[in-house]
Structure 1
Amino acid sequence: YLKCTLTPGDVLYIPRGHWHYAVALDQPSLHLTLGIHCQTGVDFLDWLVSELRENEAWRESLPLRFDAEPLDQSIDNLIQNLKQYLTNSDIQERYNRYLDGLVKPLARYSLPAQAGFNIFPNGVETRFSNPKFKRLKISQLPDHNGYKIIVSGKEIILGGVTESLVENLFTRETFTGSDVMTWLPGFDWEVDVVPLLTHLVTEGIIFVDTRV
């Protein structure tokens, strides 16, 4: 057990599972306890079980225990099925995607733009912003004709766009519609860019910057 006196500004690390309490001494005191929720191996197994439920072999009834041999054989088959599944599937990538889906965006819902109204108050010069501290994953589509974006737990497909757009759109703190036009040479503002930006705004991926 640990007993200590903390002064203003001190930080004390307490390992998970340890009880603690604080008592003020000669004057009022405020102490804050912060906890970080981390995934455990058990959480991973829970997710894995939910994935296996999609496989018919794992939903079949096991043989009744009139004779041990059929049950033993079924268990052996499931073990081999599990080994093959763990070896041949992209399980790490899919679990990472699942964890990304649990992430809640820090930015709040933004009205009226996110409801689809007044998204372009300044037309092509409207300024947009990216929320801070967002988790972003970009991958090219199999046909090389666009990109799949996973951000803040949401998945969107951007078909037919340039690499320049993807590199700039999600990494810059702010940008304008004019900037997007330079990243998409040959695209039409009304026909191509406005629907694209509207989709990103209403999905909460980017926001209309109302500071300007």
Structure 2
Amino acid sequence: MEKVISKILAPITPEEFRDVYYTKQSLLIKNEGKRFDWLFGWSSLNQILNQSFFPHPTMKVVLEGKPINDISEKSKVIEWCRKGATVIIDQLQHYDPQVRRFVASLSREIGEPINANLYFSQPGRQAFNIHYDHHDVIILQIQGLKRWKVYEDSEDTQFPLFVQKNHSSNTPDIPILDCILSPGDVLYIPRGHWHAATAKDEQSLHLTIGIDARTGVDFATWLANELRDNISFRKCFPLIFNDEINDNKNYHILQLQHFENLRNILIHKLKNDKLFDDYTRHCLITSKSIEPFYFPWSTNTSELIFSKASLLKRDGNQRFLLESNEDKDTITLTIQEKYHRFIYEAEPLLKFIFSKTEFSFKEALEVSEISESDVSDILEHLLSESLIQLV
């Protein structure tokens, strides 16, 4: 099955994208034809706006960089669009099933959180003035034409974070890329690179795929949460009363001793050889299921009876870990925010299941070293957790 990332980057390979462009330089991919018609279109947009509660929870209307608040009625949105406003729907994956599957697959393939935002722009108008984003973006042009100007980053915009002490306001003058996106075209812009976009002579519809990649700050945040289990980090610093600050240096010594103790614990933690594995496991287990409901099997598998011909399927983009404990009496499956423990003898069956996207109950029995009843129990458990499904 073709990977989503390969599908949107072709003819650039995912490896070339990662090694040459990702976080480094912008990339324009020109394509013939409307190759994103399968993903989203006018009917998809109309369905979201016509069938959702109003105002839509993530919809914004923006005109030349200024948000429009007068959108209490649907007719108001149409009026503002006629005046040149852009309609934006953030986190589109929560409202369109096709986009949801697309985002989930792409996120699992690259191992980073993904968001999809929609922009419906009017001819000759901008939604925002020149700016830079705090995450990498991949623009998929769906309908119409849109002109993009992309500028290099500067020293004060390299790898920006949404929350940091200083943000740059020194806008550059000369773009390094000035292009017009047609339906089917793709544009990648690294975070921190200034850019601006204007619809051409017709209405434009595009998706912005934001890559909310983990950073060193995310690692430090995780590490801080890990240290909550350490009693020394839960202790308060010794108190210093205001009238003691200059008179009694012993209180400063107590604080310094406490600080040094914390620093030594932190250094020891950072030197732990298992720290990288622990953080990797954390990143993996925080990957959520996009379709957790699988009724009736999510709540009751008691009436389920497998036959040799029963077919089951699995999402091939699932990220997981299979690990046996030191005594090799249990094996743990880490996936989608949960740990699942099985008897060690189930390892061949689990390795088989998670190497396939479709298999039969007969095949599962053939590779197993456990009883048919145990195989059924494991498959029922995986079904109830929506990790596999019946075909």
Relative to the length of structure 2, the TM-score reads 0.48
Q: Deviation of residue 128 (structure 1)?
A: 0.8
CA–CA separation in structure 2 for the residues paired with 1:80 and 1:55 = 13
Paired residues of 2:346 and 2:370 also in contact (CA < 8 A):
no
TM-align CA RMSD: 2.3
- 1:109-188 paired onto structure 2 within 5 Å: 109-117=293-301, 120=304, 123-185=307-369, 187=371
Aligned partner (choices 246, 254, 258) of residue 70 of structure 1? 254
Q: Does 1:13 align with 2:195?
A: no
Question: Aligned pair 1:22/2:197, yes or no?
Answer: yes
| 2:185 counterpart SS class | coil
SS in 2 for 1:161: helix
Give the structure with the larger strand fraction.
Answer: 2
The reply on whether 1:193 has 2:193 as its aligned counterpart is: no
Please give the secondary structure, in 2, of the residue aligned with 1:105: coil
> 2:234 aligned with 1:52, yes or no?
no
- Pair 115,41 (structure 1): closer, same or farther in 2 beyond 3 Å: same
Flag structure 1 segments of 5+ consecutive residues without an equivalent: none
Q: How does 1:71-90 map to 2 (within 5 A)?
A: 71-88=255-272, 90=274
Q: Contact 1:120 / 1:126 at 8 angstroms: preserved in 2? A: no
Question: Distance between the aligned counterparts of 2:347 and 2:199, measured in 1?
Answer: 58
Higher normalized contact order (CA 8 Å, seq sep 6+, divided by chain length): 1
The Cα of 1:19 is off from its aligned counterpart by 5.3
Question: How much has 1:86 moved relative to structure 2?
Answer: 1.9
The count of aligned residue pairs is: 207
Higher mean Cα deviation, 89-98 or 31-40? 89-98
> Match of 2:298, as an amino acid?
Q
CA contact (8 A) 1:114 1:202 kept: yes
Summarize the Cα distance change of 1:122–1:84 in structure 2 as closer, same or farther, 3 Å threshold. closer
CA–CA distance in 2 between the matches of 1:183 and 1:83?
Answer: 46
- Give 3-state SS (helix, strand or coil) of 1:5's partner: strand
Q: Displacement of 1:98 after TM fit? A: 1.3
User: Post-superposition shift, 1:107?
Assistant: 4.5
CA contact under 8 A between 2:345 and 2:370: conserved in structure 1? no
Seen in structure 2, the aligned counterparts of structure 1 residues 186 and 136 have a Cα distance that, compared at 3 Å, is closer
Change in 2 beyond 3 A, CA 1:160/1:90: closer
Residues 119/99 of structure 1: CA separation in 2 closer, same or farther (3 Å cut): farther
Alpha-carbon displacement from aligned partner over 1:5-47 (angstroms, at most 9, x marks no partner): 3142332222214554422222333232211011111111111
Aligned partner of residue 124 in structure 1, secondary structure: coil
Partner of 2:387: 205
CA contact (8 A) 1:115 1:202 kept: yes
Q: What's the CA shift for 1:115?
A: 2.8
Query: For the Cα contact (< 8 Å) 1:131–1:207, is it kept in 2?
Result: no
What are structure 2's unaligned runs of at least 5 residues? Answer: 1-150, 152-174
Quote the Cα distance in structure 1 between the aligned partners of 2:347 and 2:318: 20
> Is the contact between residue 365 and residue 375 of structure 2 (CA under 8 Å) also seen in structure 1?
yes
